[in-house]
Amino acid sequence: MKYLVVPAVVFGLLNLGTAQADLSEKIDDQINTLAEQVVAWRRDIHEHPELSNREFRTSKLVAEHLTALGMDVQTDDAHTGVVGILKGGRPGGVVALRADMDGLPVVEKTGLPYASKAVSEYEGNTVGVMHACGHDNHVAILMAAAEVLASVREEIPGTIKFVFQPAEEGAPKGEEGGASLMIAEGVLQEPAPSAIFGLHIGQHGLAGTANYRPNGFLASAQRFDIKVQGVQTHGARPWAGVDPVVVAAQIINSLQTIVSRQIDITRAPAVVTVGSIHSGIRNNIVPETARLSGTIRTFDPDVRLAIHEKIYRIATNIGEAHSAQVTVEIDPGVPVTFNDADLTESMVPTLRRVYGAENVFMSGRITGAEDFSFYQEQIPGFFFFVGGRPPEIPPDKAIPNHSPYFYVDEAALVPGVKAMSHLAVDYLEQIAAAP
């Protein structure tokens, strides 16, 4: 689909009526007064990250802020989630804005003055905790958007739900959490939004840019866990046992042939990655077990099912060939992040007005995953990326999310606040203007 490219100011004049243009100006003026505050919130949250389903300090900060703004506030949704409801002064529809709050089990190495020194427990291990995926920025952006929109509530035609969600990175093993649990507990009800918007920051683009894609945008993702049960023996007498390390190594190597040799990659991209392997405690003992854990990324449901079947078959057959017992678990994971095409087409002009048409780009598919996709299975949703790369970092040196060195240019924060604020108001204005 092609779009007319015009200067951002002209775009605003073409698409906004006088009253809406006045409201847009008020929103921008209010956002500009919060520029220092949104940075302060972001740095505070960055310095105090919390793991999935453990976002106690963050949710308290958010709840107190929304309460002070005079919103109806719901807490403890999906363990630590917070929902604020802002009722506008004009009748209209309902829209939701979402930010994720959790950090990752990563030891921060950025050297920033507000770098995290937090330590927690993850799957039985003591770990450092870091906002290595930028969720601190998302929370600060939505907190600022809440304050801005609350300041003009009498002019808003409808209701805005601010959804601060825990556990986007996945609930700890054995627990429920994230978007799916928030939905099960009624976050999309009473009042029921007819659309939801979300963003994600990264160094893929310069600060001050945004990108999006209609239809399938981010991949579906599932975690897989493989346990290899061998027979322990002395390292000097391996024939007396069954070595799970050797079996695990062969499984890992063979899993790499699924995408490279067994899937038609012209149909849709796919990824199978083993991210961890744990076995043994001493150099001269053949251990009893080995455990592998990894991730599957796909864009096509048939390809996803085929990969699942091949993982089971490869792992169990290799185990049988070596007299080892192999069990495979694949969790349901998250579906494809799918941007409703009509909603995307209607909201992209808002991004262009905020960022300038020359700074908004159509994206290719991204093999990262987002549990925002669960909301999009229930109602139309629009998810987009905002650039956070500092100008001194060239594109080929961009630091990926989940890296211990990940950081963003804070110049991306104010445009992010503007994008979320205007998306909400523009959407509600479109509903109000509909026949």
pLDDT tens for residues 126-178? 999 999 999 999 999 999 999 999 999 999 999 999 999 999 999 998 899 99
Summarize pLDDT for 23-78 with one digit per residue, the tens.
Answer: 999 999 999 999 999 999 999 999 999 999 999 999 999 999 999 999 999 999 99
- pLDDT value for 146: 98
Dihedral angle computed from the Cα positions of residues 356, 357, 360 and 361, in that order, rounded to the nearest 10 degrees: -160
Distance, in Å, from the CA atom of 7 to the CA atom of 352, rounded to the nearest integer, reads: 9
- pLDDT value for 133: 98
Half-sphere exposure of 75 (CA within 13 A, CB side): 14
Distance, in Å, from the CA atom of 415 to the CA atom of 408, rounded to the nearest integer, reads: 13
Chain centroid offset of residue 146 CA: 20
Distance, in Å, from the CA atom of 354 to the CA atom of 426, rounded to the nearest integer, reads: 12
Query: Do the Cβ atoms of 329 and 284 come closer than 8 Å?
Result: no
Q: Residue 411 pLDDT > 60, yes or no?
A: yes
Query: Do the Cβ atoms of 287 and 232 come closer than 8 Å?
Result: yes
Q: Please, what are the domains in the chain? A: 8-218+336-433 (3.40.630.10), 220-330 (3.30.70.360)
Catalytic residues: 102, 168
Query: Do the Cβ atoms of 258 and 314 come closer than 8 Å?
Result: yes
- pLDDT value for 3: 32
- pLDDT value for 15: 53
- pLDDT value for 16: 61
- pLDDT value for 265: 87
Chain centroid offset of residue 389 CA: 18
The amino acid sitting at 115 is A
Distance, in Å, from the CA atom of 221 to the CA atom of 336, rounded to the nearest integer, reads: 8
Summarize pLDDT for 336-373 with one digit per residue, the tens.
Answer: 999 999 999 999 999 999 999 999 999 999 999 999 99
- pLDDT value for 5: 36
Q: What is the mean pLDDT of residues 218-236?
A: 97
Distance, in Å, from the CA atom of 434 to the CA atom of 269, rounded to the nearest integer, reads: 39
- pLDDT value for 9: 40
Bin 178: left if φ > 0, else alpha if -120 < ψ < 50, else beta. Answer: left
Quote the mean pLDDT of the chain.
95
- pLDDT value for 17: 67
**CA dihedral over 130, 132, 135, 141, signed as positive or negative:** positive
